[in-house]
Structure 1
Amino acid sequence: MTLEIIDTAVLVRGISPVLEVPFRPDGAVDYDGFDRVVRYVLGAGVTSVMFPGFASEFHKLAEDERAALTEILLGHTRSRPDVAAVIAVQDHATRLAVHRAEAAVAAGADLINLLPPHFLSPSRRALVQHIEAVLAAVDPVPVVLQYAPTETGTSLDAEVLGTIQARHPNLRLVKVESSPPGPLIAELAARTPPLPAVEGYAGVQLPDAVRRGAVGSQPGCSMTELYVEIWRLLSSDEPGDWDQGYDLHRRLLPYISYWMLDTERIIAAEKLISARRGLFASAYCREPAHLLDTEEIAMIDRFLTEFADYLPPIGLS
């Protein structure tokens, strides 16, 4: 059983995209479009995907929609030992989070991504109790703990996370989305035993995160091929590859740093990128949402022109 846990957690290393959810112009979920998203991302050189996250607009999905979308994803991953489905749990109530995590594992999730509760500022003690309840409920299934202080206001540190890991070894990864993420990533990597971290936040600080010990990144999924190439270069030992990866990231940075000024903006930008590439028909985001203006749309078209060699049209049926 231990070997199975290690192998599953290792699959999350490298680029592990968060899947977006396409909607039709009337706001209904485009399930066929989501199936194309799953097939596209799994065919782009990754070994894991995460769903649903902020990039999935999880907070705008009904329970039946979320269940149907999760089943589409697991239908692609259940029988494949080479890819892992990381299913997210964001429920504020501990009872509901435990139930959702257990149900996801029963349905075929390879890992659980846990976002700690944040409404009404729960105490650190309450946060730890919530996290440990979910970890215990799904043990020995690996868990990725998502630390997103900007979006949630939650405050955790390496000592607390290490203490949790000591009691629950199935805490296998931390998704660090603090600004900057590097210091916490380095603290976690320096612990005994190390607690590996993946970087989020659209990869804005990816080179620094890699230098400090990050084992992967979880960006959105509209430009998966570009992130895969940057990761390949930054993690390579070949002479000159790091410099090439840093330069490619430097070209990407003006775009993602602007889009990440707020979460709704990058959701809208990535959806338009996917629609422009032909992955699905409509870039609609459920309201409340960010409405891209003329200059922001022009920026996306410049981005697609600049990175056309990495982001060709997607010819999925």
Structure 2
Amino acid sequence: METMNPADLIRGVSPVLEVPFDDDENIDAEGFGRLVDHVLGTGVSSVMFPGFASEFHKLGGDERITLRDVLLARTRDRPDVAAIISVPEHATVLAVAAAVDAVRAGADAINLLPPHLLGPAPDAVRAHIASVLDAVHPVPVVLQYAPAQTGTALTAATIAALRREHDNLHRVKVESTPPGRMVTDLLAGDLPIPSLIGYGGLQLPDALRRGAVGVQPGCSFTELYQRIWRDWEQGRADAAEHLHRRLLPYLSYWLQHVELIIAAEKLISRRRGLTATATCRRPRHVLDPYETAMIDRFLAEFADELAPTEPLVKPAGQKP
């Protein structure tokens, strides 16, 4: 199989992997491996771990490495798939060490979440980003711009200046609300920087019209995002937007809070038989009966689009 540049694989649908926990909130590494296999089986060319959808903020360092290595064992020898390993460490020295270690372990790309706790100065944030870019060069880096979640604001001009000095800054994951203006501005400079959008792809059609090259949603219904992406790529924009409009009532509700969409996606995964539980680590959002009923309506509405596959584990509520 022809080897591709990892940066070229970071496009289309690039799911952020969730982490299965057992009923006692211990990580389920075997279950995570099965979930990775399922997501890769949908035909995506890249995946990311750990992100907000992975509950990275609730994982211990050893747990993150354990799960990272489960993922890399499945992607290290696959030239058609890029494993993007996220580095959310707040201290620059720790972020550099984590990024270098991930590359040594087989990561194809790094996702960098800039420091944000206690409001670091803009110059310090830029220096942090530059240090990681230098440390892993020439490995491609995706810079995560998530002002709503972190409070850290970066301008397109600041990112463009970093790109001029660091040619391995290949992508920006845009999670501003709305993302469109940043997508446009990043492409308008002398060195255009392509964007992925996050935030569940809530504004995906607008972002694609503006030149975004992909989306990084959660992984519980990757097939729906894949269908939107294929329709768009193959010139069926009306079909892509129609499917996206059907998703909007659900996405707009779940995206009211990060913990809410994490809980919703985990129950979807459980209902589909992709994971053995829907457990989130505490503190967590507990779905009420109306929110649970919404998930069941979602699964009923999209039953035809979510290709039937042999469940990895027995779906919730199904008798032995």
**Smaller-chain TM-score range?**
over 0.9
1:274-285 → structure 2 map (5 Å cutoff): 274-285=269-280
Match of 2:227 among 226, 229, 232: 229
1:246 matched residue in structure 2: 241
Mapped partners of 2:75, 2:305: distance in 1: 25
Amino acid in the other structure paired with 1:160: T
1:290 aligns with 2:288: no
* 1:24-52 Cα distance to aligned partner (Å, 9 max, x none): 01111111110111000000010000000
Mapped partners of 1:314, 1:100: distance in 2: 36
2:113 matched residue in structure 1: 115
1:130 aligns with 2:128: yes
Amino acid in the other structure paired with 1:108: G
Amino acid in the other structure paired with 1:24: D
* 1:197-255 Cα distance to aligned partner (Å, 9 max, x none): 00100000000000011000000000000000011112322xxx101110100000110
Amino acid in the other structure paired with 2:46: S
Residues 133 and 169 in structure 2, CA contact (< 8 A), matched pair in contact too = yes
* 1:253-294 Cα distance to aligned partner (Å, 9 max, x none): 110111010000000000000000001111010000000000
1:115-264 → structure 2 map (5 Å cutoff): 115-237=113-235, 241-264=236-259
Residues 6 and 109 in structure 2, CA contact (< 8 A), matched pair in contact too = yes
Mapped partners of 2:80, 2:3: distance in 1: 14
1:316 aligns with 2:312: yes
1:21 aligns with 2:16: no
Which runs of at least 4 in structure 1 moved beyond 3 Å after TM superposition?
none
Q: Measured at CA, do residues 154 and 5 of structure 1 come closer, stay the same or move farther in structure 2, by a change above 3 Å?
A: farther
Q: 1:9 offset after TM fit, Å?
A: 0.6
Mapped partners of 1:277, 1:6: distance in 2: 32
Mapped partners of 1:36, 1:256: distance in 2: 25
Amino acid in the other structure paired with 1:147: Y
Amino acid in the other structure paired with 1:245: A
Mapped partners of 1:178, 1:281: distance in 2: 33
Mapped partners of 2:103, 2:74: distance in 1: 15
Mapped partners of 2:86, 2:23: distance in 1: 26
Q: 1:193 offset after TM fit, Å?
A: 1.7
Unpaired stretches in structure 1, ≥5 consecutive residues? none
1:105 aligns with 2:139: no
Mapped partners of 1:112, 1:19: distance in 2: 15
* SS of residue in 2 equivalent to 1:136: helix
2:301 matched residue in structure 1: 306
TM (normalized to structure 2)? Answer: 0.95
Q: Measured at CA, do residues 5 and 194 of structure 1 come closer, stay the same or move farther in structure 2, by a change above 3 Å?
A: farther
2:10 matched residue in structure 1: 12
Q: 1:315 offset after TM fit, Å?
A: 2.5
* SS of residue in 1 equivalent to 2:23: coil
* SS of residue in 2 equivalent to 1:166: helix
Aligned pairs, number: 311
* 1:112-160 Cα distance to aligned partner (Å, 9 max, x none): 0000000000111111000000000000000000000000000101100
Residues 279 and 314 in structure 1, CA contact (< 8 A), matched pair in contact too = no
2:90 matched residue in structure 1: 92
TM (normalized to structure 1)? Answer: 0.96
1:60 matched residue in structure 2: 58
Q: 1:309 offset after TM fit, Å?
A: 1.1
Amino acid in the other structure paired with 1:284: T
Unpaired stretches in structure 2, ≥5 consecutive residues? 314-320
Mapped partners of 1:295, 1:97: distance in 2: 41
* SS of residue in 2 equivalent to 1:221: coil
Between the two proteins, what is the percent identity of the paired residues?
A: 60
1:269 aligns with 2:267: no
Q: 1:63 offset after TM fit, Å?
A: 1.2
Q: 1:316 offset after TM fit, Å?
A: 3.1
Aligned-residue CA RMSD (Å): 1.3
Mapped partners of 1:314, 1:186: distance in 2: 41
